[in-house]
Amino acid sequence: MSLMTGEEYVESLRKLKLNIYLFGEKLSNPVDNPMLVPSRNSVKMTYDLAQIPEYQNLMTATSNLTGEKINRFTHLHQSTEDLVKKVKMQRLLGQKTASCFQRCVGMDAINAVYSTAYEVDKEYNTNYLDNITGFIKYVQKNDLTVDGAMTDPKGDRGLSPSKQADPDLFLRVVERRPDGIVVRGAKAHQTGICNSHEVLVMPTVSMRPEDKDYAVAFSVPVDTEGIMIVVGRQSCDTRKLEELSDIDVGNKNFGGMEGLVIFDDVFVPNDRIFLNGETEFAGVLVERFAGYHRQSYGGCKSGMGDVLIGAAALAAEYNGVPRKSHIKDKLIEMMHLNETLYSCGVACSCEGCKLAAGNYLVNLLLANVCKQNVTRFPYEISRLAEDIAGGLMVTMPSEKDFKNPVTGKYLEKYFKGTSSIPTEDRMKVLRLIENLCLGTAAVSYRTESMHGAGSPQAQRIMIARQGNLDHKKSLAKAITRIEE
């Protein structure tokens, strides 16, 4: 089997014995928990679309390892065309879910680890490439969802991993055995961890020789003994638990989730280890993963932006002002900003290059420019959407009030917009805008735009490093005939 259906994916999650906590309680059935079902559905869409002929050019690829047809989320990029298709696939899924669909981090992780493992093997005669290749084949054959785990809690940001007061604030190796290693620590902000089959762990920063125990990369099943998941809270999240709240939720069917993943002395067998103490390669791995993931944001965030722009245009129409010049100008600006994000994602893909391992890497400078724009433009797109929507977006009564026989008739009367549009439709659109700008989807759109794949300063550091300022100065000197 290389391609699971969406239903087969959901059933595969039921076979996992996940150790998940939410609101202080251990979940006996996380797959069907109403707080987590929308995020599960978002991942399910990555399987559903791969079954539809219209989308298979984007959603599937041919494995360079096995020659089989596979889901693109398990693919090693073999060309710049693959990199471009990745961005187009992500935009499509953003349009279909208006949320985070959670498989991007794993896709970016396997590509970064694969090329890094190749280079570590060349330097130290290790067998990491065989290990990661075997793992990727397994993932491709079974069409698994992989959680890419990079972000450590970090503790005191001014100290390196080995200098922390609590040594577990960065995930580390606590025991090396003949058959593998034992690791302890945690990974934070883990997108989609509850909906994943495997967790692929990577270091989160460059390492020094004294940080050897922290320079570790590996993968284990998410239900491995010693792994515990604590689900994070999101704004407006308990609306999903309320009766008569389909409209109040804003996006009933889809959503994202984040969690803290605790590794309490977890055993990792030798064939699942991809880095183990080679500190000088930790930074290489981090840089490549960050580049891939910053490229990703040009796709997923522009797809979600398409939905938000459409909702804002509908709100203007339902409010009776679609032809007002200032409304049209705001919608044009939203589209301009959104297409700029997408253009950066495509550009860094087209300018990608082949690595020694054989898979392709994005242009890192342009990928960082892409993500730097993502830390800004979705905020302006959201501001404009809120402007167009109006104050009712955040002062609207609940769906229960609309269904109440006493209050409902008044709300139907006084919250009417354009006479030809049902009041309920107007309410649905305003709640969708609220969801994308302020609610649970805002985690995937606004906040993740700021901090996902590294905060703004991280991109500025990389832009400074890769921008080649000396070359630019030499160009100016040549034009002005300044002698070196």
Q: What's the pLDDT at 2?
A: 79
The dihedral through the CA atoms of 112, 115, 121, 124 has a sign that is: negative
Residue 218 sits at φ, ψ, to 5 deg, of -165, 170
Q: What's the pLDDT at 118?
A: 98
Of 170, 281, 277, 168, the residue nearest 216 (C-alpha): 277
Which one of 198, 317, 399, 448 is the catalytic residue?
448
Assess whether 448 carries a catalytic annotation.
yes
Q: What's the pLDDT at 170?
A: 98
In a domain, 480, yes or no: no
How much is the average pLDDT of 462-479?
95
Q: Are 36 and 194 in contact (CB under 8 A)?
A: yes
Q: What's the pLDDT at 1?
A: 61
Q: Is 360 helix (H, G, I), strand (E, B) or coil?
A: strand
How much is the average pLDDT of 107-127?
98
Residues 161 and 261 in one domain: yes
Which one of 75, 100, 119, 189 is the catalytic residue?
100
pLDDT for residue 203 is more than 70: yes
Domain end, chosen from 223, 257, 280, is at 280
Which one of 9, 114, 214, 297 is the catalytic residue?
297
Assess whether 344 carries a catalytic annotation.
no
Q: How many domains are there within the chain?
A: 2
Question: What CATH number does residue 439 fall under?
Answer: 1.20.140.10
DSSP letter at 407 equals T
Q: Are 80 and 350 in contact (CB under 8 A)?
A: yes
Residues 262 and 215 in one domain: yes
Assess whether 300 carries a catalytic annotation.
yes
Question: What CATH number does residue 134 fall under?
Answer: 2.40.110.10
CA dihedral of 434, 435, 440, 443, whole degrees rounded to 10 = -80
The dihedral through the CA atoms of 468, 472, 473, 475 has a sign that is: positive
Q: What's the pLDDT at 383?
A: 98
Of 147, 139, 141, the residue nearest 109 (C-alpha): 147
Assess whether 293 carries a catalytic annotation.
yes
Which one of 9, 119, 300, 375 is the catalytic residue?
300
Assess whether 198 carries a catalytic annotation.
no
In a domain, 478, yes or no: no
Assess whether 484 carries a catalytic annotation.
no
The per-residue pLDDT for range 257-300, each reduced to its tens digit, is 999 999 999 999 999 999 999 999 999 999 999 999 999 999 99
Residues 302 and 261 in one domain: no
pLDDT for residue 236 is more than 90: yes
Which one of 9, 97, 197, 258 is the catalytic residue?
258
In a domain, 229, yes or no: yes
Residues 100 and 136 in one domain: yes
Domain end, chosen from 243, 262, 280, is at 280
* Average model confidence (pLDDT) across the chain: 97
The percentage of residues in the chain with a pLDDT greater than 70, rounded to a whole number, is 100
Q: What's the pLDDT at 484?
A: 78
Assess whether 353 carries a catalytic annotation.
no
| Rounded-to-integer distance, Cα 426 and Cα 196, Å | 36
Which one of 74, 80, 97, 104 is the catalytic residue?
104
Cβ-defined contacts of 23-31 (< 8 Å, 24+): 30/194
The per-residue pLDDT for range 410-469, each reduced to its tens digit, is 999 999 999 999 999 999 999 999 999 999 988 889 888 999 999 899 999 999 999 999
- Give me the residues paired with residue 230 across strands: 21, 260
Which one of 293, 348, 370, 375 is the catalytic residue?
293
pLDDT for residue 85 is more than 70: yes
Residues 216 and 329 in one domain: no
CA 202 from centroid of its chain's CA atoms = 16
Predicted TM-score (pTM) of this structure: 0.96
- Give me the residues paired with residue 200 across strands: 148, 219
The per-residue pLDDT for range 246-262, each reduced to its tens digit, is 999 999 999 999 999 99
In a domain, 146, yes or no: yes
Assess whether 204 carries a catalytic annotation.
no
- Give me the residues paired with residue 187 across strands: 261
Q: Is 181 helix (H, G, I), strand (E, B) or coil?
A: strand
The percentage of residues in the chain with a pLDDT greater than 90, rounded to a whole number, is 96
Residues 138 and 170 in one domain: yes
Which one of 191, 204, 375, 440 is the catalytic residue?
191
pLDDT confidence tier of residue 110, bands split at 50, 70 and 90: very high
pLDDT for residue 336 is more than 70: yes
Q: Which residues constitute the domain of residue 223?
A: 6-280
pLDDT for residue 174 is more than 80: yes
Q: Are 118 and 324 in contact (CB under 8 A)?
A: no
